[in-house]
């Protein structure tokens, strides 16, 4: 049961977005006690040289400027830590994830914080969470050889420890918007609450 959802909307569109519409339905279906909303239509900064320098400086040696450079990343990670379920509205743009979502991943995937390297390979540190992804596309079929979004999202979530990932797919909306949306809404209704 979801008690705290982190809802992430990756669509650049605030009005008329199918991924937002599906995310609304998922959140209502899961009926959490708390929802934290991260809207990536409000752009996140891209990582830069100062951020990378701060990230790779041991915490005890960081300057105030380096701590400030990592403060948004720390806040985004805290949002994930606080949630037991992530609901991600994810349109496919040009066969991949929107740039805003990639920026979110870059700020959240941090060695020693959300994953670590072991002798057995990388280990995600944000375990015990569930993710439900509302994937939408105009023409890209999810899971097809031209879908570079869903595999990436599954991999990155698993990389940071979130392995319980479910996809609600409203793909190829340009071909049959009404039927595709009805199918996706039925998928939401079948989700375990």
CATH of the domain at 131: 3.40.50.360
In 3D space, the residue among 120, 41, 45 whose CA is nearest the CA of residue 75 turns out to be 45
Beta partners for residue 39, in sequence order: 9
How is the chain split among helix, strand and coil, in percent rounded to 5?
40, 25, 40
- Residue 1's pLDDT is 67
- Find out whether 2 is annotated in a ligand binding site: no
- Residue 135's pLDDT is 98
**Tokens, residue 101:** 């979502």
- Residue 188's pLDDT is 96
- Find out whether 47 is annotated in a ligand binding site: no
- Find out whether 179 is annotated in a ligand binding site: no
Q: Does the predicted model carry a pTM greater than 0.85?
A: yes
Compute the C-alpha angle 42/8/99, nearest 5°: 55
Q: Are residues 25 and 132 in contact, defined by beta-carbon separation less than 8 angstroms? A: no
d(CA 47, CA 167): 28
- Residue 116's pLDDT is 97
d(CA 131, CA 30): 12
- Find out whether 138 is annotated in a ligand binding site: yes
**Over its length of 193 residues, how does the chain's per-residue pLDDT go in tens digits?**
679 999 999 999 999 999 999 999 999 999 999 999 999 999 999 999 999 999 999 999 999 999 999 999 999 999 999 999 999 999 999 999 999 999 999 999 999 999 999 999 999 999 999 999 999 999 999 999 999 999 999 999 999 999 999 999 999 999 999 999 999 999 999 999 8
Please provide the DSSP assignment of 116-144 as one string: EEETTEEEES--S-EEEEEEE-SSPPTTS
24-60 in b/e form (b: 16+ CB < 10 A) is: bbbbebbebeeebebebeeebeeeeeebeebbeeeee
- Residue 193's pLDDT is 85
Domain of 17 in residue numbering reads as 4-189
d(CA 75, CA 65): 16
Sign of the CA dihedral running 52, 55, 60, 64: positive
The number of domains in the chain is 1
- Find out whether 136 is annotated in a ligand binding site: yes
- Residue 114's pLDDT is 98
3-state secondary structure of 27: helix
- Find out whether 158 is annotated in a ligand binding site: no
């Amino acid at each position: 049961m979801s008690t705290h959802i982190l809802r992430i909307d990756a669509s650049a569109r605030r009005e008329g977005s199918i991924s937002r519409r599906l995310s609304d339905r998922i959140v209502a279906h899961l009926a959490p006690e708390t929802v934290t909303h991260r809207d990536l239509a409000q752009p996140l900064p891209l990582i830069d040289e100062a951020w990378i320098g701060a990230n790779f400086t041991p915490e005890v040696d960081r300057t105030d400027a380096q701590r400030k450079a990592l403060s948004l990343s720390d806040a985004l990670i805290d949002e994930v830590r606080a949630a037991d379920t992530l609901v991600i509205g994810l349109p496919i743009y040009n066969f991949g994830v929107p740039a805003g979502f990639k920026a979110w991943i870059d700020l959240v995937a941090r060695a020693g914080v959300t994953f670590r390297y072991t002798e057995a390979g990388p280990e995600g540190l944000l375990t015990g969470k569930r993710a439900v992804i509302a994937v939408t596309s105009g023409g890209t079929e999810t899971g097809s050889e031209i879908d570079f979004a869903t595999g990436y999202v599954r991999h990155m979530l698993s990389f940071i420890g979130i392995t319980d990932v479910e996809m609600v797919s409203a793909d190829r909306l340009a071909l049959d918007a009404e039927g595709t949306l009805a199918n996706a809404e039925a998928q939401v209704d079948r989700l375990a609450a």
